[in-house]
Amino acid sequence: MITSLILSAALLAQDLPDSPQPYRPTTTAKGNGPVAPATGGGVGVDAYRRDYEGPKNSQELTYDSGIFQAYASKENQIGNMEGSWVVTAADGRKLVGLELRSENMVSGRLEGAWRSMLAGFGMNNSGFVSDITLTGRDLEVNYFVGGARSPTILNLHKDVDQVWRGYMLDTKGEKTPVVLTQVRPGA
């Protein structure tokens, strides 16, 4: 303890400047070679127009090719029924929304989910589609509403104008003429 007090007193006794002082080298620094001419500054990122990397080697090209093939394969697996669909009545009322998925290359199987649109947005009936059959230009979608013992059936045919038209057969046996339309992103 006494030693630290003596050292502190010695430090306090030094004649120190009142404010920080800039560094002043005692000798001039010398390089080890000739000085390069001034270039006028670095190249900004936006001004750089070349490729940052050299040409790809065979291993990198093989990797890139595999990525592109996997992407193309996945694109081919997405069938023409993939996406969001709306079933509307002849008067334009939205009845049911469908979300369909298909894996054409793997199994050719369609699967999906449905949601009633009769009450607008909110707590509507919804569930999984129990069975989807696509044969040529004919599509049948079956799903169960609530605790119904028989399914609601959408029976549709793709017309020459590429529109799916048909009927919805509810659990009471009533047929309603319907049109199935795909919902496009941003539309």
DSSP secondary structure letters along 37-82? PP-SSPPPGGG--S-SS----HHHHHHHHHHHHHHHHHHHHB-TT-
Strands 138-143 and 152-158, bridge-based pairing: antiparallel
Indicate whether 57 pLDDT > 70: yes
Q: Where are the domains of the chain?
A: 83-183
Distances in whole angstroms, Cα of residue 11 to Cα of each of 1, 4, 16, 67 = 16, 11, 9, 68
C-beta separation of 101 from 112 below 8 A: yes
**Mean pLDDT across 34-43:** 71
Q: Higher model confidence: residue 113 or residue 29?
A: 113
The CATH label, of 2.40.128, 2.60.120, 1.20.1050, 1.10.1610, for the domain at 83-183 is 2.40.128
pLDDT confidence bin for 18, thresholds 50/70/90: confident
Whole-angstrom distance, CA of residue 18 vs CA of residue 176:
94
pLDDT of 76 reads 64
- pLDDT for 164 equals 94
- Provide the pLDDT for residue 105: 52
The Cα 102–Cα 112 span in angstroms is 9
